[in-house]
């Protein structure tokens, strides 16, 4: 079972950084959805999983499981492949 640990200043700083990055993420995603077709953004949406896993490792030292990495890669590659198959030549970047 997990044990309660006292919150220290470093934890508050980490939470603050995560909050600021999350708010920035929402604003940037809102602008992206306004300016680009949804199907173009979907591969990047799934890559968020990988970026969050990397951030979790860097901030908290939590090691990723191989299943997580494989799952993120499968989802990201398959959505990118579907995008490429359906829209090759139709969307000009």
pLDDT value at 33 more than 90: no
60: in domain: yes
Task: Tell me whether residue 92 is in a domain.
Answer: no
DSSP tag of 37: -
Q: Is residue 17 part of a domain?
A: yes
Letter string b/e over residues 42-67, b meaning 16 or more CB atoms within 10 A of that residue's CB: ebeebbebbeebeeeeeeeeeeeeee
Q: What is the pLDDT of residues 66-87, one digit of tens each?
A: 897 888 788 878 877 887 787 7
Please check whether residue 4 lies inside any domain of the structure. Answer: no
Give me the domain span that covers residue 47: 9-87
How many domains are there within the chain?
1
> How much is the average pLDDT of 88-92?
64
- Among all chains, which residue has been given the structure tokens 């359906």? 86
93 in a structural domain: no
């Amino acid at each position: 079972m997990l044990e309660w640990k006292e919150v220290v200043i470093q934890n508050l700083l980490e939470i603050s950084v995560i909050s600021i990055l999350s708010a920035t993420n929402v604003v940037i995603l809102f602008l992206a959805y306004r300016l680009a077709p949804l199907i173009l953004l979907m591969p990047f949406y799934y890559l968020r999983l990988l970026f969050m896993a990397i951030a979790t490792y860097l901030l908290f030292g939590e090691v990723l499981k191989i299943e997580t990495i494989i799952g993120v890669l499968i989802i990201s590659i398959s959505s990118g492949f579907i995008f490429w198959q359906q829209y090759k030549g139709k969307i000009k970047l």
